[in-house]
Structure 1
Amino acid sequence: MTKKGDQRQAEELDPRKQTILKAVVDDYVETAEPVGSESLLQRYPLGVKPATVRNEMATISDMGYLHQPHTSAGRAPTHRGYRYYVDRLAEPMNEDEARQIARRLAKTVESQPEMVTATLRMLSGITRYAAVATTARDQSLKLLKCVVTPLTRGRALMMCAFDNGSVDSHVVDLGSALSAQQMRRLNASIAKLVEGQQAAEVVALKLSLPVVEDRFLQDAIARTLRAAQSSARVATRGELYYEGILKMMEHVEFQRSLESLEQVLGALQDKHRVYDAMEQTPENELSVMVGEENPVPELQNCSMVVARYKAGKREGGVIGVVGPARMRYSETLPLVQQMARSLSGVLAKLIEE
């Protein structure tokens, strides 16, 4: 399992502190209220005195895993506390639950987009979070033509046309104003580098720049190539599917702050950023982005749990959920992983048939 974002090195907790942290997280996830030592002892068989629990909770807070929202309140998990929980304390799904999910999913036998959306409906229905999925990038797409036209003050308009009929444009800062001759050389260099190439090859060209004596032209070629690579990444994006976005309204943190809810719903509608965030998921791994680890700033009060699925022997995409940082990780992590595996299995059978 992988994580995202820069994190301080996690300080190891002894078994008692782990038990208390797990109890605090589990309780806070259910109630959305800060947890005190007395209520913790009433709900969980910790086997220690209230004073011991208070001292341990204070120590865990000093280590950065809990915080006290108000002076008189109990403790709540920090994003760092959730990360520790995800990495060390979340429990795996039992085999019976995994088999049941696989059977339910196998009952739907349709084409891939419908199969993906059916999986999302099931995933969102079980978790009560927004479920999201991507389809694979079109790596066979070719860049047919790339033209750079000068504007003013060292800027230029770059337009890239692809063989699926799409056209992407960027205003490029060339670093300095170029002469007509330099612009011709720039266009010739870029055309030689990218035209007729598959999009994946264009993206990989960052270390393959031609060497020219004119350092201003060299810089302009590098800047234009980066823009062409950005166009290639945009053009090859697959589809992004959603189910259950409005389920975010069911969660207390968003009921308490309509501004936060509006921010999250707006970010989820920005399909390009969400797609790119999900596509960072390594192959064959479950990826968990907790709170501030999320690469989409407006979703940093949320967590994203995603996993890759396959379409037969080919890359399929990424599937998962977005929910509040106060997420039921013990249920959600194994569920997302099992959904990805089950979806891969069903798609493999469909493709074979």
Structure 2
Amino acid sequence: MPGLSERQKEILLAVVGEYIRTGEPVSSSDLCGRYRFGYSPATIRNELLTLTETGYLAQPHTSAGRIPTDAGYRWYVDKIEERRPQHDSLKMKRGEKHQIENLDEYDDIEEFFRASTELLAGIGHGLAIGGSLGDADEPLYKSGFGEILGDAEFLEPESRSRFGLLMDSIDEEMRGLARSHDLIEPQVFIGDENPIREARRYSMLVRQITRDGTLGIIAIIGPKRMRYEGALHLLRALGAPLDNL
């Protein structure tokens, strides 16, 4: 992908953030109304056109605003990682930090993974999956079905059916992923990057966690319009005090 000017980076960051927040295509008037770029509307329109031509944005309809492409989402996630402070938890909301701290109170490993999965689903806006990897017959915990199936991307019966088929094999896929990939640090897979073929319509964030000598996995799968920043902060915060790898 071609390099971006500082102005293009600023506008692309705003477009992806707005689309994640609203789920609606983002127009130049949306950006002018919400952000104080210091650029004229004509300049913003021209930069949106350039970002579309270079593959970072798409225009679903002629009269609509722009939405991120997979390349746009990838740039956004890489930018989040580039800006990441040494301690992500410092940027989390106070309530979320308190919830993470409370996870340390769980002595039972299964309760820890259950609570972690529920927290990740709420923060990341997706279906969270987690559990220990020791017993292949023990199902992994899942949380967030209700919220994700109410999302615009899943209103069509075909979309729900396709996601349901993915869930039928997700435990086996997660365990296979843990064997084949280095997941000590959080990994982000967007669209066709996803090693799970049936998940290539979505985004997935995943990492391994070790607690009290037990190896486990925690992940979130959902629309590409995912709350990447919050989910990444949580995955890193979960691993920082607990991971002995």
TM-score clears 0.5 = yes
Alignment of 1:137-176 (within 5 A): 137=134
Partner of 1:252: 152
Instruction: Tell me the TM-score normalized by structure 2.
Output: 0.85
Aligned partner of residue 77 in structure 2, secondary structure: helix
- Code of the aligned partner of 2:209: Y
Partner of 1:228: none
Instruction: Provide, for residues 213-261 of structure 1, a one-character-per-residue CA deviation record: whole Å limited to 9, x for no partner.
Output: xxxxxxxxxxxxxxxxxxxxxxx68753222233211322112x22112
Q: Equivalent of 1:77, from 65, 68, 80?
A: 68
Q: Equivalent of 1:306, from 203, 206, 211?
A: 206
**2:58–2:66 Cα contact (<8 Å) kept:** yes
**2:123–2:230 Cα contact (<8 Å) kept:** no
Number of equivalences: 237
**1:101–1:342 Cα contact (<8 Å) kept:** no
- Choose between structure 1 and 2 for higher RCO, CA contacts under 8 A separated by at least 6 residues: 1
Identity of aligned residues (%): 33
- Code of the aligned partner of 1:304: M
- Code of the aligned partner of 2:120: L
1:100 positional shift: 2.9
Matches of 1:260 and 1:125, distance apart in 2: 21
Aligned partner of residue 55 in structure 2, secondary structure: coil
Q: Equivalent of 1:104, from 99, 102, 105?
A: 102
Matches of 1:19 and 1:89, distance apart in 2: 13
Aligned partner of residue 327 in structure 1, secondary structure: coil
**RMSD of aligned Cα (Å):** 2.5
Alignment of 1:314-353 (within 5 A): 314=213, 316-344=215-243
Could you tell me which runs of 5 or more consecutive residues in structure 2 were left unpaired when the two chains were aligned.
none
Instruction: Provide, for residues 112-144 of structure 1, a one-character-per-residue CA deviation record: whole Å limited to 9, x for no partner.
Output: 122211211222233332111242357xxxxxx
Larger CA Rg, structure 1 vs 2: 1
Alignment of 1:186-225 (within 5 A): none
Partner of 1:58: 49
Partner of 2:4: 13
Matches of 1:254 and 1:105, distance apart in 2: 31
Partner of 1:34: 25
Matches of 1:283 and 1:59, distance apart in 2: 36
- Decide which moves more: 270-279 or 24-33: 270-279
1:55 positional shift: 1.0
Q: Equivalent of 1:124, from 121, 125, 140?
A: 121
**2:89–2:237 Cα contact (<8 Å) kept:** no
1:264 positional shift: 1.0
Aligned partner of residue 131 in structure 1, secondary structure: strand
**1:249–1:261 Cα contact (<8 Å) kept:** yes
Aligned partner of residue 289 in structure 1, secondary structure: strand
Q: Does 1:95 align with 2:90?
A: yes
Could you tell me which runs of 5 or more consecutive residues in structure 1 were left unpaired when the two chains were aligned.
1-9, 139-235, 349-353
1:320 positional shift: 2.1
Structure number with higher strand proportion: 1
